[in-house]
Amino acid sequence: MKVFKFGGASLKNAAGVKNVVSIIRQHGPYNVLVVVSAMGKTTNALEKIHSLATSGQNASSQITTLNDYHQEILRELFPSLHPVYQAVASLFKELEAQLATPGEFDQVYDQVVSIGELISSVIVHHYLLAQGESSHWLDARTCIATDACYREGKVEWAKTTTRIQALKPVLAKNIIITQGFIGRTDTGYTTTLGREGSDFSAAIFASSLQADSVTIWKDVPGVMNADPKRLPAATVFEELPFREAAEMTYYGANVIHPKTIKPLANKGIPLFVKNFEDPSLPGTKIHECTVDSLPPLIVFKDNQCLISCKVTDYTFITEEHLSTIFQALSSLDLRLNVMQNSAISFSFCLDFREHKVLSLIQKLQQQFEVFYNTGLTLITVKNYDAATFEKYRNHAGVLLEQSSRSTLQVLVRL
């Protein structure tokens, strides 16, 4: 039994849907569970729609543009009057209903942004049926149970595993098409598992089903030691140990979601990263192994914010001050990427989620003098050699630098 995950880039147009379905059919006609992301840049568009609506602005033109994008894909895949048109129309009505429903910012965000995955999965499901395959559409929210931590839902594993294991009879006769990124609370609200969380969804299903493998289909030939769009000379890893891959994701390598590795490693389920444009390429196998002499891994993490908290009475930074800072971070479910302290200040870098970061700054200003910079990039060089260490440590615009025996991190304004 295999689990596949296809991201938005693989489903950005009708040709992409046809290619994805072609790959799925090569591994069917059953015992394959497919997790899909929203098509193309749909999640970004839904975030924009949510932002406009929650600030009291009219988002109707953006909704129309998004609907037109999906309608164009439908027209290239299906004849007129096909049931898929009504299914997609119902989801756009649901989008408008959620936008009109009052609620806390992150709660409404999850109800709105999750619509993208639902639309994508409905289209892929119907196209599989049109190709004569036995496809079963599954609402992932009926399986993945989470707490009410919106935008970063924590999985309730016991309940989730029981629900997913009940799918085995369905898988024995069908290809299952479901959504990544989403779950549901006990009270019926949709949650999301963190941006780009569809990889994690695939790992949840695979772990619960004790799958033979998970394959994440990307627009790159495998896991690389750098983003080829930034460093064209990047090379592909043939294989990687689970631990190395986990550390890569922690530092921001966006080829795999950070939470993906743990459930697979715990069950010994190998993870393959392959190219959907050329499935014949070997890709990268992530499993329990040993690899000697790994090349330097270089990760660029954009949209970073540097916050510095300075005590106001000339005392030193104490454990009590640190406790206050970390409690504020925890209360807003924010994670640090780098931290550093001096005698009278504590500085840290985190992803700039504007709504939460501004709330954090407001909290910290009650006790500290707070300075912050946005629009920064965190560069991490893991397994550095002398050349990469010197190159990135002397990078222009460095605001913060930190190094250990194997890892260098610099926060820069590019």
- CA-to-CA dists, residue 152 to 30, 103, 169, 172, 258, angstroms: 32, 17, 31, 32, 12
Q: What is the pLDDT of residue 292?
A: 85
Identify whether 29 is preceded by a cis peptide bond (ω within 30 of 0). Answer: yes
Stretch 322-333: mean pLDDT, rounded? 95
User: Residue 41 is encoded by which pair of tokens?
Assistant: 């840049």
Stretch 41-53: mean pLDDT, rounded? 97
Q: Quote the CA–CA distance of 352 and 4 in Å, as a whole number.
A: 31
DSSP lists the bridge partners of residue 6 as 36, 217
pLDDT at 86 over 90: yes
Stretch 115-143: mean pLDDT, rounded? 98
Instruction: With residue 96 as reference, give the H or E element that holds it.
Output: helix 83-99
CB atoms within 10 A of CB 281: 13
pLDDT in tens, 145-175: 999 999 999 999 999 999 999 999 999 999 9
* pLDDT-wise least confident of 69-78, 224-233, 266-275: 224-233
DSSP lists the bridge partners of residue 33 as 3, 176
User: Residue 266 is encoded by which pair of tokens?
Assistant: 């715990």
Q: Quote the CA–CA distance of 187 and 207 in Å, as a whole number.
A: 25
> Given CA atoms 171, 174, 179, 185 in this order, what sign does their dihedral have?
negative
3-state secondary structure of 182: strand
- Please indicate whether residue 392 or residue 414 has the higher confidence score (pLDDT): 392
DSSP lists the bridge partners of residue 381 as 298, 408
Q: How remote is the C-alpha of 87 from its chain's centroid?
A: 26
- Confirm if 375 and 351 have CB atoms less than 8 A apart: no
Identify which of 220, 203, 241 has the alpha carbon closest to the alpha carbon of residue 283.
220
- Confirm if 110 and 117 have CB atoms less than 8 A apart: no
Q: Quote the CA–CA distance of 404 and 91 in Å, as a whole number.
A: 49
Q: What percent of the chain has pLDDT over 90?
A: 92
pLDDT at 83 over 90: yes
Identify which of 240, 248, 176 has the alpha carbon closest to the alpha carbon of residue 209.
176
Dihedrals phi, psi of 305, to nearest 5 degrees? -125, 130
Q: What is the pLDDT of residue 324?
A: 96
Stretch 388-399: mean pLDDT, rounded? 95
Q: What percent of the chain has pLDDT over 70?
A: 100
**Residue given tokens 């260490």 in the structure block:** 389
pLDDT at 87 over 90: yes
Stretch 400-412: mean pLDDT, rounded? 95
- The mean pLDDT of the chain is 95
pLDDT at 293 over 90: no
Q: Quote the CA–CA distance of 375 and 39 in Å, as a whole number.
A: 27
Band the pLDDT of 263: cuts 50, 70, 90. very high
Stretch 128-148: mean pLDDT, rounded? 98
Q: What is the pLDDT of residue 9?
A: 96
E strands, 276-368, are 284-287, 297-310, 336-341, 345-351
- Please indicate whether residue 147 or residue 196 has the higher confidence score (pLDDT): 147
- Strands of the sheet with 407-412, listed across from one edge: 336-341, 345-351, 297-310, 369-382, 407-412, 398-403
- CA-to-CA dists, residue 221 to 28, 243, 278, angstroms: 23, 21, 8
Stretch 110-123: mean pLDDT, rounded? 98
pLDDT at 253 over 90: no
Band the pLDDT of 313: cuts 50, 70, 90. confident
pLDDT in tens, 340-385: 999 999 999 999 989 899 999 999 999 999 999 999 999 999 999 9
Q: Quote the CA–CA distance of 358 and 107 in Å, as a whole number.
A: 18
Q: What is the b/e burial string over 245-280, where b = at least 16 CB atoms within 10 angstroms of the residue's CB?
A: bbbbbebbbbbbbbbbbebbbeeebbbbbbbbeeee
Q: What is the DSSP string of 357-387?
A: HHHHHHHHTTTSEEEEEEEEEEEEEET--HH
Q: What is the pLDDT of residue 312?
A: 86
DSSP lists the bridge partners of residue 344 as none
Stretch 31-39: mean pLDDT, rounded? 98
3-state secondary structure of 299: strand
397, amino acid identity: G
Stretch 41-61: mean pLDDT, rounded? 96
Band the pLDDT of 254: cuts 50, 70, 90. confident
286 contacts: CB under 8 Å, gap ≥ 6: 223, 239, 240, 241, 242, 245, 256, 261, 264, 270, 271, 272, 273
pLDDT at 16 over 90: yes
Q: What is the pLDDT of residue 145?
A: 98
- Please indicate whether residue 24 or residue 313 has the higher confidence score (pLDDT): 24
Band the pLDDT of 314: cuts 50, 70, 90. confident
Entry field: residues in the chain: 414
pTM: 0.87
What is the DSSP code (8-state) at residue 220? S
153 contacts: CB under 8 Å, gap ≥ 6: 110, 146, 147, 183, 185, 191, 192, 193, 194
pLDDT in tens, 197-252: 999 999 999 999 999 999 999 999 999 999 988 999 999 999 999 999 999 888 98
